[in-house]
Structure 1
Amino acid sequence: MTIVRDNIEMFMRYLSIEKNCSPLTIEHYEKDIMHFASFMKQQAISDFAAVSYVLVRHYLIVLHDASYSRNTVARKISSLRSFFRFLNKEESISHNPFAMASLPKKGRQLPHFLYQEEMEQLFSVCSLEDPLGQRNQAILELLYGTGIRVSECCSIKVKDVDLSMETVLIMGKGRKERYVPVGSFALSAITRYLEDGRLKLSGKSSVKSDSLFLNYKGEPLSSRSVRTILNKIIEQSSLNVHISPHVLRHTFATHMLNEGADLRAVQELLGHAHLSSTQVYTHVTKDHLKKIYNNAHPRA
């Protein structure tokens, strides 16, 4: 399976260097391709060039029998189609066997978000007396207050924060830069962290980092660590909900639109290339819907 490994590694380098994909995106691609490579091994096929459309159909049946969701199957097919297109372009294979594979229609699910009362509970958890508590509060306020992605949050440098202009420079997908406004609560949390907690964390490492958020060793914080931090905040709160950095992004967009923000403005803040990506957040909560009804209907 040496050829298979070489092909996969070549594609991973392409995603990282030429496509500027995030580490999480690359991880998902690799996971999907390795899953198919494992299936190939079971079928005694040791080269991607030997993959046929018949084998692809067999793989889709295996995915169906394994009860994968439509969204997961669609993602796997999309990943493999891109991978085989790359191999075809590099002339490692003569055709793309996934070109004819149809994507299952994705199920449309409303994004999971938190209510304002739930967010208030989260904000009351972190201890503001120690460096890690100050850092965690700043992360929580920033993620909710701006709707940025966790990878964007971890890539922020100290110089990217402009406290006087109340903005943060964000490096988005495809290395596209955008300035996002930062609210008063997030600004207060970041200022407290910069003036106290970050100075103490920075002193724990002999190599000084320009990253805004540092771990307990004084090194740049990773996306995985942010997810761990949020899980601990949930454990310390009385909430029985699932939370992730993306749930906070969903919450930001939902609350903005529910309060009357313009859809295109939210698109710009989220860093979406297409408006259709933002439109998924145009759902409204039952409370908001009832409020609109009571205010608008003459017989309410």
Structure 2
Amino acid sequence: MPHPTLDASVSPLRQRLIDDMNMRRFSRETQRNYLRDIGRLATFLGRSPDTATSDDLRRFQIEQQHDGVPVPTMNSIVSALRFFFTHTVDRPDLARRLVRLAHPRKLPVVLSRDEVARLLNATTCLKHQAALSVAYGAGLRVAEVSMLKVADVDSERMLLRVERGKGGRYRNAMLSQDLLTLLRQWWIVGRQQGVMHREGWLFPDSMQ
């Protein structure tokens, strides 16, 4: 990730926060979320967030509850503020004052075989069928599917290499024989249409 350039529109405190996140190789999305959430505290205070007191943080969290802010959102804000107070302004005592709320996790809805078949057959586009099959069959997120490259398909070990997984981590996903066969069909069609290349994306945006 390129290092942001300090200019007159960026305060020294904000730049320090950005530098701290860059040093830890936070993703762009995480950086945007942290900047937004710390900005919420600044808006609540009406002043710079590094001037917050433990009582300010308590009032901030109480107001969030009264406003009906969802628990996952509140916990995400806590993560951002803990990072800010621990690493950027060196106030770990304030970070410890922030309370994370218990949040019961619901079990995901599992589709039946018929429902999966209807989902995959909802499109006649081979590219879309292959992308949906990868997402479902290999358990990948939409962003992970969109970032796959042809070289990420390891037919010898029957694996998919996911380079930009959650948290920016690398991982491997299992590749079934049926899914490999479908991807090979898409490779042939994509090559014929001139959109697939050995060093290119597995699902290039230019293909509709």
Q: CA deviation at 1:209?
A: 6.5
The answer as to 2:18 corresponding to 1:18 is no
> Residues 198 and 213 of structure 1 are in contact (CA less than 8 Å); yes or no, is this contact kept in structure 2?
no
Matches of 1:13 and 1:211, distance apart in 2: 31
Gaps spanning 5+ residues in structure 1: where? 128-132, 219-300
* SS of corresponding position for 1:202: coil
Matches of 1:5 and 1:169, distance apart in 2: 40
Equivalent residue for 1:38? 43
Equivalent residue for 1:61? 62
Decide whether aligned partners of structure 1 residues 177 and 108 sit closer, same or farther in structure 2, where only a CA change above 3 A counts. closer
What does the per-residue CA deviation read over 1:35-78, in whole Å, with 9 as the maximum and x for residues that have no partner? 223323xxx31x23211111111211220111122222122112
Decide whether aligned partners of structure 1 residues 4 and 82 sit closer, same or farther in structure 2, where only a CA change above 3 A counts. farther
Matches of 2:19 and 2:188, distance apart in 1: 39
Quick check: which one's helix share is greater? 1
Decide whether aligned partners of structure 1 residues 209 and 165 sit closer, same or farther in structure 2, where only a CA change above 3 A counts. closer
- For normalisation by structure 2, the TM-score amounts to 0.78
Equivalent residue for 1:215? 205
Q: CA deviation at 1:121?
A: 1.0
Decide whether aligned partners of structure 1 residues 147 and 63 sit closer, same or farther in structure 2, where only a CA change above 3 A counts. same
The answer as to 2:154 corresponding to 1:153 is no
Q: CA deviation at 1:122?
A: 0.5
Residues 272-283 of structure 1: pairs in structure 2 closer than 5 A: none
Equivalent residue for 1:142? 134
Equivalent residue for 1:80? 81
Question: Which amino acid in the other structure matches residue 78 of structure 2?
Answer: I
Equivalent residue for 1:189? 182
Equivalent residue for 1:110? 107
Matches of 2:131 and 2:101, distance apart in 1: 37
* SS of corresponding position for 1:169: strand
Q: CA deviation at 1:20?
A: 3.1
Q: CA deviation at 1:120?
A: 1.3
Decide whether aligned partners of structure 1 residues 104 and 176 sit closer, same or farther in structure 2, where only a CA change above 3 A counts. closer
Q: CA deviation at 1:6?
A: 4.5
Question: Which amino acid in the other structure matches residue 61 of structure 1?
Answer: I
- For normalisation by structure 1, the TM-score amounts to 0.56
Question: Which amino acid in the other structure matches residue 151 of structure 2?
Answer: K
Decide whether aligned partners of structure 1 residues 30 and 212 sit closer, same or farther in structure 2, where only a CA change above 3 A counts. farther
1:28 to 33, 41, 62: 33
Gaps spanning 5+ residues in structure 2: where? 1-7
Matches of 1:5 and 1:202, distance apart in 2: 45
> Residues 155 and 211 of structure 1 are in contact (CA less than 8 Å); yes or no, is this contact kept in structure 2?
yes
**Following TM superposition, where does structure 1 have runs of at least 4 consecutive aligned residues deviating by more than 4 angstroms?**
2-6, 173-176
Equivalent residue for 1:166? 158
> Residues 38 and 49 of structure 2 are in contact (CA less than 8 Å); yes or no, is this contact kept in structure 1?
no
